[in-house]
Amino acid sequence: MGGIIAASLATAIARVGAGSPADGTALNRWTCALMSAMGNLKFAAWVAPDGYPRIIPILQAQPASRDRILFSPLVYRDEVEEIPPDRAAPYSA
């Protein structure tokens, strides 16, 4: 649980320095509000090369703008690194 709290705090700090929002509108206001609440469940999902879905919790995820979602890989690092490069933007820890 401590790792999730640390990752949530790291994400909140990154959100402050995320820069100006882009012109995209992938998330509406309701979705941004839902994603902004720290206590709400959030997950990343993708189909792995073996054809099976992979789902990982990313409770620390926060919208940086209406077209970007940030989250710290401090928890579930190994699972996050399994996300194919064409499915996610790169991150730095």
What does the pLDDT look like over 23-62, one tens digit per residue? Answer: 667 788 888 888 888 788 888 888 888 889 989 888 888 8
pLDDT band per the 50, 70, 90 thresholds, residue 70: confident
Query: Do 83 and 76 touch, CB atoms closer than 8 A?
Result: no
Decide if 91 is inside a domain.
no
The boundaries of the domain holding residue 25 are 2-85
Decide if 22 is inside a domain.
yes
pLDDT band per the 50, 70, 90 thresholds, residue 4: low
Q: How many domains are contained in the chain? A: 1
Decide if 30 is inside a domain.
yes
What distance in Å separates the CA atoms of residue 56 and residue 43, rounded to the nearest whole number?
6
Task: Quote the pTM value.
Answer: 0.59
